[in-house]
A and B are shown apart, each in its own frame.
Chain A
Amino acid sequence: MAAADSPSTALRRRDLCSRGIRLAGKMRADVVDLLDAYVEQQGLDASASVAAVEGVPLAAVEHWDEQTGTQRLLENLAAYRAFRALLAQMLEEQREQLGEADAGLGRALAAVLLQVSAFAYHLEELLRLESRGIPGEEGDGQPPLPRLSLFEQKLRGLGVLRELAQWAVRSVRDLRQLTKPSLATSAAPALAESP
């Protein structure tokens, strides 16, 4: 964290945090709505258990309240970059499967994808304000996602959306944590909260 922020920097960070919180909130609401539509459209059971999606860090972590701001931002950025790639693939698979038959679901997926991209941008900006280097995109170096069966694609999609909803909640809490001045510069946890 930057030890001394200029007023404009502080204002900019505050604005980014505020906007990021609201974006994450809206993203969660949209993802929840999208989950309902996706389960229904894909013929899945909403209570179906899904294994953890590969490549996506889990939102639930131990010692969350002990994380520094930078750690939070970096974990968030890694997660949303992963979501961006997964959602893009889901959108492509969706178009391949349904074509233009269910444009609504496709539009909703595209909207969530945009929000994920926007949130990732927010995180990058915050990291810049923290005078920290932005880690490079690992997408190019990552191996392509394994080719799955159609059902597996659906289940993976369900898992991605569920995890994204979880991350949206965590991101809101992370950004709120960042906006607290006392905690912004402290690596020690002040509040015993966890997502």
Chain B
Amino acid sequence: MFSRWNWVACGFYLVLNVCSPDASGGLVQSCGHIIPESPVLALGSNFTALCILNESCLDFGNIYANQIIWKIKNRLVPKEQYREINRTVSSVTFNDTSSLATPLTCNILADGQIEQNIYGITVTVGLAPEKPKNLSCIVHQMSRFTYVMTCTWNPGRHTFLDTKFRLRYSWPEEVFPDCIPKDVNNSCTITDIQFFVNTEIWVEAANALGKAESDPLVVDPIDIVKPLSPQNVSVSSGILPTVLKLSWENWISDAVMTLKFNIRYRIIDDTNWMEVPSEDTASPRTSFSVQGLRPYTEYVFSIRCMKEDGVGYWSDWSEGKTGITTEDQPSKGPPMWRIIDASHSPALWTVHLMWKALKPFEANGVILQYEVTVRDKSSLSSPLKKYNVTSTNHTLQLPKGTYEVTLIARNSVGASPPSVLLIPESNSKAPVKNLRTLPKHDKLWVGWTAPNSYVLKYVIEWCLVSSSSDCIIEWQIALGDVQGIDLKGIKPFKCYLITVYPLYADGQGSGQSVKAYLKQDRPSKGPTVQTKKVGKAEAVLTWNHLTVEEQNGFIRNYTILYKTIDGNETVVTVDPSKTEYTLSSLTSDTLYTVRMMASTDNGSRTGPDFTFTTQKFGRGEIEAIVVPVCLAFLLIVLLGVLFCFNKRDLIKKHIWPIVPDPSKSNIAQWSPQVPAKHNFNSKDHMYPEGSFTDVSVVEIEADDKKSFSEQDLKPFDLLKKEKSTSEGHSSGIGGSSCMSSPRQSVSDSDEGETTQNTSSTVQYSTVVLNGYRDQTPVQVFSRSESTQPLLDSEERSEDHAGGADSTAQRQQYFRQNGGQDETNTDRPCFERTNQITHADEGDLVGFVQLQISGQSSQPLGLGMEKNTQEAALSNVLQTRTEGQTVRPETVEENPLSVDEIPKSYLPQTVRQGGYMPQ
């Protein structure tokens, strides 16, 4: 399809060109054209274009005006805007040229479908130039003879067209060449300037749509001159120390114009300019003397000029030129203060005099030296002391007193007025009141209320408080009529100690101090808290104060924050003076985390966390539990022991009753030597040493550790006596059981009868007195079949049996048995034993047992040799350590009795541990 139409179009185009009658030279002439050709249109205006077809094309190509279509940049113009004027002319109308674009083409639809371009034009749309406004000119002096005039104007709106601006100027009879701006459209510079002639200046703007001229500016260029600033400015000092002379050259001659000037100056370190009054420099000149300057001060001068009548422009300021005024004598004495050190000796002061170097405008030159004069006011006769000092301090050793110190500063011109400082012996005058501070930007204002008395001046001391170094004092003097000054050079976040002294004509007031900060911040670190003591429900926290460098402000309070691991944080506020605090109501045996925060007016800082664990028990709780428990235990044990002691028989009966074994009863063997012994013994010795060996059955408690102690042997003595009584009635043999009661045997048998019976019939018997476990003891008499005669002792005892004599004899016996050591007999114990004997026969039985045991171990009172006894004792102990229960045989084995009584009737076999049957 496309190819077909393409072929048709090409063919038609070819026909058009071939049929063109004007075609010549290979050029192609179109079949029409548009009127107007490439128009420039005003934006917003209406526009009509005509497309005119050549007559030659009409007939040949059947092309008519009704086939024309208009296009703007390939966009079809609505046919409502077309109008067919005749068969060869078609017009198109645009009511607003803003809708136009380039190109505007005239086209034709051949055969109603094939579009063919006939002609096209370029349409330029823009605006006519506006009238330039605000034309102004200025003549710049470029050099001594060169002036250029630059004029500027407002070119008006953008025209979208190429608009030419030109600056024109003329005299009434002279027209000058136009000034064409380069690269700009709002200014132009004219280099050929003639003064003193009114020149008419105007701007002309022109483009394709029109031309516009500004209002003319008529001006004599001399009235719009901006001259060059004066050159070669020099400053020279004059005779007076307050005057400097400025000289300069003018770039412009008086023939052109006369000038007036402005002179400004400043101290070289200052930024503020001062100006010489303009009326002083309103006339042409090339020099000027500036007065009222400070001596010995470097100034910077600058100057500018303009036409004398003030019409025109000021020149730029000239470059600064410096000059120094000459010296003058110092205008005032240096401010002076002192520090008195009386630490070495109260009576001798070390006075540190110090003064401030004069400010340059006070020194008026180079201070060469200071003269210090000290006068002792307390002694009129004392001479003045003078010191020449080059530094700003001087130290004197002075006795305590009142002094007047005078200070003079000297420079090359002269001396300053004196500064006088009165140093009184004591600061007894009234101090200032209500000392206070207030930060003011970078200064710290110190204010006070004056005392009631007239004050000459005040001395304000201040120093930076430091924990690591001494307070380096700075000071300043204020006049007596002020009640506050600004301290400069104060650093923020630093603590300053400020002291104010009032100075009176006749003395000095004591200083009042205050601490102050220029600016506060939060502390640079928080306090480090730790525990001093931790209890069950409380903990004592301690911390150290922050150093003054760390505080950065006044510590208003400390805040303690503590919590358990999973608990809420508790906050406690503490006075800043405290360094210890006790946390109470804590939970026992709990881990706590505590931290501490120091706060100033400007914030807080928290210190590191610290953990501690409360104790499980409070103070004394353990003691309160353990001690009573121990006491109770001991009491119970004691009671138990007592109980057991009291009930030992019962216990023994129940736990380890001694069941006598008759089969193991021993019967002492009669020894054939005994009769000889008996014979040897006198009647007085009714009971010879070996008489107790009659008791041949002995049981020794293996655990009875005290079996050898004297204490235990005392009742044994008693029993000896008892036994001596009872044994006389008993067969003297054989009670193998500790339970056997000799008394029982006594009571159970009639003495007389028993004696008689035994004398006729020798019976060896073992008597068991106590029953087993509350059973009625059964008296068992084991009858011996032996027919051997009774021992002498028994016979004798039988002889003396009965009656009160037996007692006496026993006493005697004890005395005898006590031997040389009669004191061994413990009398009280004996008496007590008697009581017990009367009170409780059961106990007595026990005693008997003990007695027997003691006898077996230590035959106390038997007059044995001590060494032998000890040997025997050691034997017994040895036996015990071997864990063997000492049997009655042990007693019989006792070498004491054997050795003591070589003619013992005890059978040797028994001594050897065995029973030798008779």
Contact = CB atoms under 8 A, between A and B. Distances in A.
A117 B170 CA distance: 12
B196 A114 contact: no
Most buried by B among A29, A30, A115, A118: A118
A114 B174 contact: yes
A23 B196 contact: yes
A28 B220 contact: no
> Is chain B's binding surface mostly helix, strand, loop or mixed?
loop
Contact of B256 (A26, A114, A117): A26
B171 A23 contact: no
A157 interface: no
B288 interface: no
A57 interface: no
Contact of A117 (B173, B198, B257): B173
A121 B198 CA distance: 10
Interface residues of A, number: 21
Give the size range of B's interface with the partner: 10 to 19
Contact of A26 (B192, B196, B198): B196
B194 A121 contact: no
Given A26-B256, A29-B253, A114-B174, A20 B196 contact: yes
B171 A121 contact: yes
A19 B196 CA distance: 5
B255 A25 contact: yes
Given A33-B145, A115-B194, A118-B171, 5 more contacts: A22-B222, A22-B257, A26-B195, A114-B194, A121-B173
A28 B196 CA distance: 13
Contact of A28 (B145, B172, B222, B255): B255
Contacts of A26: 195-196, 255-256
Contacts of B145: 33
A111 interface: yes
B916 interface: no
Contacts of B257: 22
A55 B305 CA distance: 43
A162 interface: no
8 contacts: A19-B220, A22-B196, A23-B196, A25-B255, A26-B196, A114-B174, A118-B197, A121-B173
A13 interface: no
A121 B197 CA distance: 9
> Is chain A's binding surface mostly helix, strand, loop or mixed?
helix
Interface in B135-183: 145, 171-174
A122 interface: yes
Nearest to A122: B197
Contacts of A111: 192, 194
A110 B145 CA distance: 14
A20 B172 CA distance: 15
Contact of A23 (B174, B192, B195, B253): B195
Interface string A9-46: 00000000001101101101110010000000000000
A40 to B, nearest CB: 16
Interface string B237-261: 0000000000000000101110000
Contacts of A118: 171, 174, 194, 196-197
Contact of A29 (B197, B220, B256): B256
A115 B256 CA distance: 12
Contacts of B222: 22
A31 B172 CA distance: 23
B171 A117 contact: yes
A19 B197 contact: yes
A22 B222 CA distance: 10
Nearest to A118: B197
Nearest to A32: B255
Which 8 pairs from chain A and chain B are nearest by CB?
A23-B196, A29-B255, A118-B197, A25-B255, A114-B194, A26-B255, A19-B196, A22-B196
Interface string B46-69: 000000000000000000000000
Nearest to A111: B194
Contacts of A33: 145
B880 to A, nearest CB: 152
Contacts of A120: 173
Nearest to B196: A23
A179 B263 CA distance: 35
